[in-house]
Amino acid sequence: MSDSQELGITESKEHATGEWYAEVIQKAKLADYAPMGGFIVTRPRGYALWERLQNHLDAWFKDTGVTNAYFPMFIPESYLEKEKDIVEGFDPEVAWVTHGGYDELEERLAVRPTSESIITPFLAQWTRSHRDLPHRVNQWCSVVRWEATETKPFFRTKEFLWQEGHTAHEDGDEAWDEAMTRLDQYENLYEDVLAIPVLRGRKPDHDKFPGADTTTTVEALMPDGKSVQGATSHYLGQSFAEAYDVTYVDENEDEQTAHTTSWGLSWRSLGALVMTHSDDQGLVLPPALAPEQVVIVPIWQEDTKEEVLDYAEELALDLDEEFRVHLDDRDERNPGFKYNEWELKGVPLRIEVGPNEVDDEEVTLVHRPDGETETADRDDLDETVEDHLDTVFAKLKADAEENLEENVREAHSREDILGTIGQHGGYVKAPWCGDEDCEDPIKEAIAAEIVMVPMDPDAEPIGDDCAICGEDATETAYFAKSY
Ligand SMILES: [Zn+2]
């Protein structure tokens, strides 16, 4: 296999999205498949994306009163069982440890599918009086859900990286505000860092987190017309606090039960990132996450090599302080090869310099997403690069926004919902009575479901009658196929 074949993406995003996605993940060196089905190895370039994303979110969490902690990856079965709803919700997906060495354990240990059942008891221990509240604890960790599905890196794996935040509060209003603060931060991460617009709403009651009062979500539309649940924030009400005795003594010396929340974002966000922006040349990354923001490619002949390289090195030095810049001065590769490689790796901005640029004291800048090329003065290169990276971000965001705007449609009958999703994918909003039975026929026919309903409690449904059963509509449901 020649180098160019090895580098190039052979599948088409439009016509073979799944194969294309797998190829981009592997060829851009983000991840490999582990020997056990359902697990992946996150390679340094993939982990670098997760770290940058983590840095953004972690800083916002800390600015808003959250501290990080770490709880064991194993949870005693008796702890899981205390919240019957959780057991029912997760049991078939739980991986169990039954032996330590050769000895059978007296009590099975669950590999955490999520950590409410081990964290909440400690929130209870740490809470005596109202002065101890609120608690806001987050952990960055991995969880395991033993789903028997095909492995899709970052989208579907048995073990996945995420953060899970858990909080306890004196009253319900404060806990609700907490859940909304976290949903806002998830929305900001998608829109301002990943350049992916999202819809925010809540899950229908039959699809909320087991034991939650309300599950809220940000949903992102992928170019293939499927929705990704981008992150969820749960207002848990008092159910977990009651099950695990998170009680406190209030100002009047009366015992009260706390209100709790939990909220999580996983590396599925990286899957959404790759799926949204990348193309048939490979990865496309927003500047904030790209391991290299700028690559400088010098173009020389033997007689111009020295002056071009010197110039390119000066540019790299100029930019080094403010940006993640890489000078590709490899002798053994020609410029065309280098362009392909850095396009595959998703570097947002390429600077080309040859003898002409040296003579004119200029640079040629090329945007990764669309190849737009511009010449600029070498002076104030920092500012120039900053502007161009902003432009690249704006282009990515605008494309994704256009995709979302064009793909929210309305339907008022069962046939209409089926036909519209069948033809276009995307979201179809329809008036809905609130009954799970009215989702079933859509699910059975085309595997689409209600991914969210808008959260505004005063919002009127978009029609008087449920699109499925014809009874009174109480809300507007967003149907979509989802990842
Ligand atoms: Zn109905």
- % of residues, the chain, pLDDT over 70: 97
| 13 within domain boundaries | yes
CA of 409 to the centre of ligand 1 (A): 19
**CA-based nearest residue to 340, from 25, 7, 16, 116:** 7
Give CA–CA dist 124/376, Å, rounded: 61
Distance CA 402, CA 33 (A): 33
Distance 229 CA to ligand 1 centre (A): 24
What's 423's domain CATH number? 3.30.110.30
Same-domain status, 139 and 208: yes
| Residue 368 contacts residue 343 (beta carbons within 8 Å) | yes
Considering the domain boundaries, does residue 414 fall inside one?
yes
Lookup result for tokens 């599918």: 113
Q: How far is the CA of 79 from the centre of ligand 1 (A)?
A: 38
Q: How far is the CA of 2 from the centre of ligand 1 (A)?
A: 58
Average pLDDT over residues 428-446: 96
What's the token pair of residue 50? 């997760």
CA of 428 from ligand 1 middle (Å) equals 15
User: Distance, CA 437 to ligand 1 centroid (Å)?
Assistant: 7
Here the tokens at position 424 are: 């276009």
Average pLDDT over residues 180-207: 97
Sheet with 227-237, side-by-side order of all strands: 67-68, 135-144, 159-169, 259-266, 227-237, 214-221, 199-202
Say if residues 246 and 260 touch (Cβ distance below 8 Å).
yes
In the listed set 277, 303, 332, which residue is the last one of a domain according to the structure?
277
Domain that holds residue 428: 408-480
163 & 309 share domain = no
Structure tokens at 12: 């088409």
Amino acid at 200: R
Does residue 457 surpass a pLDDT of 80? no
CA–centroid distance, residue 260 to ligand 1 (Å): 32
On whether residue 476 sits in a domain, the answer given is: yes
Q: What is the pLDDT of residue 448?
A: 96
Burial grade of 302 (CB within 10 A; 0-12, 13-18, 19 or more):
exposed
* CATH code for the domain in which residue 40 is found: 3.30.930.10
pLDDT digits (tens, 9 = 90+) for 343-387: 999 999 999 999 999 999 999 999 999 999 999 999 999 999 999
Peptide linkage before 197 cis (omega within 30 of 0)? no
Q: Let me know whether 304 and 348 are in one domain.
A: yes
Q: 349 and 202 share a domain?
A: no
Phi first, then psi: give them for residue 313, nearest 5 degrees. -65, -40
Handedness of CA 117, 61, 142, 231 (dihedral sign): positive
Answer yes or no: are the C-beta atoms of 112 and 164 closer than 8 Å. no
Give a yes or no: residue 95 inside a domain. Answer: no
Mean pLDDT of all residues belonging to the chain: 95
State the total domains in the chain.
3
Confidence of residue 4 (pLDDT cuts 50, 70, 90): very low
Residue 89 has pLDDT above 80, yes or no: no
Residue range 402-413: mean pLDDT, rounded: 97
64 and 126 co-located in one domain: yes
For ligand 1, the distance from its centroid to the CA atom of residue 228, given in whole angstroms, is 25
Say if residue 331 is in the same domain as residue 441: no
Nearest Cα residue to 31 out of 20, 46, 13: 46
Backbone φ and ψ for 288, nearest 5 degrees, come out as: -65, -25
> If you measure from the C-alpha of residue 435 to the centroid of ligand 1, how many angstroms do you get, rounded to a whole number?
6
468 C-alpha to center of ligand 1: Å?
5
CA of 194 to the centre of ligand 1 (A): 36
Q: What's the CA-to-centroid distance between 284 and ligand 1, angstroms?
A: 42
How many Å lie between the centroid of ligand 1 and the Cα of residue 237? 27
The pLDDT of residue 80: 87
Question: Ligand 1 centroid vs 436 CA: distance in angstroms?
Answer: 8
The alpha carbon of 478 and the centre of ligand 1 are apart by a number of angstroms equal to: 14
**Do 368 and 449 fall into the same domain?**
no
Average pLDDT over residues 127-142: 97
* pLDDT higher than 60, residue 251: yes
443 alpha carbon to ligand 1 midpoint, in Å? 14
266/325 same-domain check: no
Residue 213 Cα to ligand 1 midpoint, Å, equals 22
Can you tell me the distance from the alpha carbon of 354 to that of 301, in angstroms, rounded to the nearest whole number?
A: 9
Kindly report the number of other CB atoms within 10 A of residue 208's CB atom: 19
Which pLDDT band, with edges at 50, 70 and 90, does 1 fall under? very low
In a domain, 447, yes or no: yes
Residues 6+ away with beta carbon under 8 Å from 210: 83, 85, 86, 88, 89, 90
Please state, for a pLDDT cut of 90, what percent of the chain lies above it: 93
- What CATH number is attached to the domain comprising 318? 3.40.50.800
Could you tell me the CA-to-CA distances from 342 to 146, 295, 309, 319, 346 in Å, in that order? 36, 8, 19, 18, 6
Which parts of 342-434 are beta strand (E)?
349-353, 362-367, 373-377, 408-410, 427-432
What is the per-residue pLDDT for 2? 43
Torsion angle defined by CA atoms of residues 405, 399, 192 and 140, in that order, rounded to the nearest 10 degrees: 90
pLDDT at 7 over 90: no
229-239 pLDDT, tens digit per residue, is: 999 999 999 99
Cβ atoms 143, 114 nearer than 8 A: yes
Mean pLDDT of 124-142: 97
Q: Give 457 or 443, the one with higher predicted confidence.
A: 443
- Over residues 94-118, mean pLDDT: 95
What gap in Å lies between CA 386 and CA 379, rounded to an integer?
13
How many angstroms does the Cα of residue 410 sit away from the middle of ligand 1?
Answer: 16
Same domain, 248 and 169: yes
Q: Which of 287, 291, 296 is nearest to 386 (CA)?
A: 287
- Decide the pairing of beta strands 255-257 and 475-480: unpaired
CA distance 141 to 69: 10
pLDDT at 81: 85
pLDDT over 50 (residue 3): no
User: Closest Cα partner for 31 from 361, 471, 23, 15?
Assistant: 23
The C-alpha atoms of residue 129 and residue 131 are separated, in whole angstroms, by 5
In a domain, 98, yes or no: no
**Are both 368 and 416 inside the same structural domain?**
no
Please tell me the distance between residue 473's alpha carbon and the centre of ligand 1 in angstroms: 7
Where does the pLDDT of residue 270 fall: very low under 50, low under 70, confident under 90, or very high at 90 and above? very high
Which pLDDT belongs to residue 88?
A: 62
- Distance in Å, CA 472 to ligand 1 centroid: 8
Stated as kind and residue range, the H or E segment containing 380 is none
* Position 133 in a domain: yes
- Both 215 and 349 in one domain: the answer is no
User: Final residue of a domain: which of 358, 388, 418?
Assistant: 388
In this structure, are 8 and 138 located in the same domain? yes
Q: Is the pLDDT of residue 87 over 80?
A: no
356 lies in some domain: yes
DSSP character string of 21-63: HHHHHHHTTSEEE-SSTT-EEEPHHHHHHHHHHHHHHHHHHHH
446 Cα–ligand 1 center, Å: 18
Looking at residue 85, its pLDDT comes to 55
Pick from 247, 277, 307: which residue ends a domain?
A: 277
Give me the pLDDT at residue 91, please.
Answer: 74
